[in-house]
Amino acid sequence: MHGIIFFYIQKFADVATAGTTTWLKLRETVSTSASRYLPNETYPDGEAVGLLQSLAERTGEPLPTLVERFGEFLAPHLVKVAGRHIDPAWRTLDLIENTESIIHTMIRATNPGAEPPVLEAVRNSPNELHLVYGSSRQLCVLARGIMKGVAKHFGESITIEETSCMLDGGPFCSFVVQDDSHETHSARSPLSETITFDPDSGKQQPVEAGGWQSAHPFVDRPVGELPQAIGGFPIKSLIGHGGMGRVYLGRDGRLERQVAIKLMHPSRAADAVSRQRFLRESKATAAINHPHVVTIYQVGEHDGLPYIVMQHVDGPNLADYRIAAGETVATAEAVRIGRELAEGLTAAHEHGLVHRDIKPDNILLEGPSRRVRIIDFGLARELESAETRLTMDGAVVGTPAYMSPERIGVEEVDAKSDLFGLGVILYELLAGRLPFEGKSMVSILAAIARGTPPALAELVPEAPQALTDLVMQLLAHDKADRPATAAEVARKLAVIEQTLG
């Protein structure tokens, strides 16, 4: 275990025992070595647990209670240590969501032999996050305490529900963390670092350059002064931010047009893996010239941080549009959106690219005609590429509800995975619900892994049979049973569209 934990156990011991137990006496209970537990070294896990056990005996507390209390004590200190890797705009759920990348940057990347816990987070709504914790140490109680301590640090209130636990025989621990501090709730996922859009007003929520007002669509909080220019483009406002970075509205004076500029966050840019993924997104998208794929204009660096200058799309993403439209979208409109999405995917696949994260947040609807524009090729992967995966082995990357079964398992991901995501989107637009549902990330993944969703024809009997059959084929568990190509799907949807008038 990393020595910094021992360093803070020492500080915690003074608090927990009100100074009645000296650190040297406590240390003698677990180690016969002359170890000083230096913050920059590593030590056996058992010694840390032994120290906490000795503290529990001295305070008369059950060990789990004391370990959770230690987590609460530890949290603000860890926030301070990791300060330069934390976006000032983040709050509790933001920090929990990005903890895995911080751990990778601070520990794994600098100490390949280290084995910190694996944390996988999915932000299902602005106020709810699902977290999977995996570690041979099985210190989920400590993780719970740290989350509580982070909330206290930010002056927020959270509710934590543990839906599965290693201590009860599960393969990992699963938490549902809910922010009770803010009343804004939405079905929209904030995972996409794109333009924020208010479906009620139909307007983007800007921040004037040099101001301190937040552009976060859910929580009003300071984000700091905006840069005056990036890559020679004057900055007008902040229009979105997420785990990877921030998106600014800029001005292209030469062509008299607005542009969107995504600037990578310093904590992510410090990690070579994240930096490579960010730059790969821009190169992958720039290679595609298609009316249903967002256009990339320029790639560069600003103060050492990678940035992408792209087309500014005036309109909501599909998630916000669906919320504004109500439970379902008209059949003809759903078919049109599906066809245009399939055409954009066809262009990407013909360039040898698989998007790998097709979801409503990554589909913008441009202008009055609501033309589809696919964005965020951040997980895009070259077909038939032998490159090393840009994620940890076994890590779940993406949004679970739209993941194909092969994304969850070990089967190779190819263009058929994008077709599955298209099927989920069409199902949701037509039926007003997801084909695979669950109360947690784990239950959603389990539902996808089991296979067949409820028959769409029974949920939407008025829809053409050709359409419901196609959507169910797109959702086939075995990718060999899905349509052969996105181009084939586009052609079939075009025929259906004609019959709908």
Considering the domain architecture, whether residues 480 and 338 belong to the same structural domain is answered as yes
d(CA 499, CA 375): 30
Please check whether residues 418 and 433 belong to one and the same domain.
yes
Is residue 190 included in any domain, yes or no?
Answer: no
The residue from 61, 78, 104 where one domain ends is 61
Question: How far is Cα 288 from Cα 296, in angstroms, rounded to an integer?
Answer: 9
Confidence (pTM): 0.62
**How many whole angstroms separate alpha carbon 286 and alpha carbon 280?**
10
Predicted local confidence at residue 182, as pLDDT = 60
Same domain, 365 and 493: yes
Number of folded domains that form the chain:
4
Quick check: 192 pLDDT over 60?
no
Q: Are residues 285 and 222 in the same domain?
A: yes
Q: Residue 204 in contact with residue 195, Cβ under 8 Å?
A: yes
Of the CA atoms within 13 Å of residue 66, those in its CB half-sphere come to 22
CB distance 354 to 347 below 8 Å: no
Contact indicator for 162, 174 with CB cutoff of 8 Å: yes
Asked if residue 26 belongs to a domain, the reply is yes
pLDDT greater at residue 6 or residue 355: 355
Two tokens at 10?
């020492």
**Hey, what amino acid is at 131?**
L
Query: Contact, 249 vs 239, CB < 8 A?
Result: yes
Average model confidence (pLDDT) across the chain: 78
Verify that 235 and 161 share a domain, yes or no.
no
Residues 223 and 336 in one domain: no
H or E segment to which residue 301 belongs? strand 296-302
Look up residue 252 and give its two tokens: 């292209």
Q: Which residue has the higher pLDDT, 373 or 395?
A: 373
pLDDT of 197 > 70? The answer is no
Above 90 in pLDDT, residue 235?
A: yes
- What's the distance, Cα to Cα, between the start and end of the chain in Å? 65
Residue 449 domain flag: yes
Residue 314 appears among annotated catalytic residues: no
Instruction: Clarify whether residues 286 and 176 are in a common domain.
Output: no
What average pLDDT does this structure show over 31-40? 60
Say if 279 falls within a structural domain.
Answer: yes
Catalytic residue among 271, 320, 357, 361: 357
Rg (CA), the chain: 24
Q: What's the pLDDT score for residue 25?
A: 64
54 is a domain residue: yes
In this predicted model, what pLDDT tens digit does every residue of 385-423 receive, in sequence order? 333 333 333 344 456 788 888 876 656 778 999 999 999
Query: What's the CATH code of the domain at 156?
Result: 3.90.1520.10
**Which tops the pLDDT comparison, 220 or 481?**
481
Give which of 383, 468, 478 is closest to 423, Cα–Cα.
468
Say if 192 falls within a structural domain: no
- Give the pLDDT of residue 33: 54
361 and 450 part of one domain: yes
Tell me: pLDDT of 190 over 50: no
**Highest-scoring range by mean pLDDT, 35-49, 108-122, 235-249:** 235-249
Final residue before a domain boundary, out of 311, 336, 357: 311
Q: pLDDT tier at 53 (50, 70, 90 boundaries)? A: confident
Q: In the prediction, which pLDDT does 440 show?
A: 65
Mean pLDDT of 414-441: 90
pLDDT, position 174:
85
The answer on 477 and 422 residing in a single domain is yes
The 3 state secondary structure assigned to 449-496 is HHCCCCCHHHHCCCCCHHHHHHHHHHCCCCHHHCCCCHHHHHHHHHHH
Q: In terms of residue numbers, what domain contains 269?
A: 197-311
